[in-house]
Amino acid sequence: MNKQKGFTIIEFLIYIGILSIILLVFIEMFISLTRVRTENESTSNIQQDSSYLINKFIYDIHQTKTISLPLHPPNQSNVLDVIINGTNYSYATDSAKNLIMSDGINNYQLNGYDTSIPKILFTRFGQDDIHDVIKIQFTVTSRVRNPAGFESQTYETVIGLREKP
């Protein structure tokens, strides 16, 4: 009797079925890991940008000699104009919802490329330049879409000018 070695069609179909199930499990794990990574990246981008922006505003406002806009307390504006060491700086959002700092010559984007600033509001409090306080409210939104939508966080801080010597 001549026996040939090999697989029967039934063995081959069972092998393909088991391989398909294993591949589906791995693909689902990969998709879940990618989704978690994207969500973590969105949250991280928002936290990094908000931390940077708050620290940038604290530093710049502490260096400020004069606030040009908002003009008088308790006025509000979506633009902040200050004078630091004789240079006028303006902070505002552009049409692409980026926060831009302008010194009249150059424009600097302050938020990252993966985030946008759809809303910013500056409120001026205080009596004069020595006692001026700026309340800053802004929202940072991720440009990376999660399954639940775009991640967004709103922040609010109050920063006072330093007294002049």
The mean per-residue pLDDT over the stretch 6-20 comes to 89
68 belongs to a structural domain:
yes
Greatest Cα-to-Cα distance within the chain, rounded to the nearest angstrom: 109
For the chain, the average pLDDT equals 87
What percentage of the chain has pLDDT greater than the value 70?
93
Q: Is 34 helix (H, G, I), strand (E, B) or coil?
A: helix
Q: Which residue has the tokens 């879940």?
A: 32
Beta-strand ranges (E) seen in 79-146 are 80-84, 87-93, 99-102, 107-109, 115-125, 133-146
- pTM (predicted TM-score): 0.76
Q: Are 156 and 51 in contact (CB under 8 A)?
A: no
- 41 occurs within a structural domain: yes
Lowest average pLDDT, out of 2-11, 94-103, 106-115, goes to 2-11
Determine the Cα–Cα distance for residues 97 and 114; give it in Å rounded to an integer. Answer: 11
Q: Is residue 2 part of a domain?
A: no
For residue 20, give its domain range.
Answer: 9-160
Whether residue 165 is contained in a domain is answered as no
Q: How many structural domains compose the chain?
A: 1
Q: Does residue 156 surpass a pLDDT of 50?
A: yes
In a domain, 3, yes or no: no
Residue 138 lies in a domain: yes
- What is the C-alpha separation between 116 and 138, in angstroms, rounded? 10
Q: Please write the tens of the pLDDT for every residue from 49-72.
A: 999 999 999 999 888 888 888 877
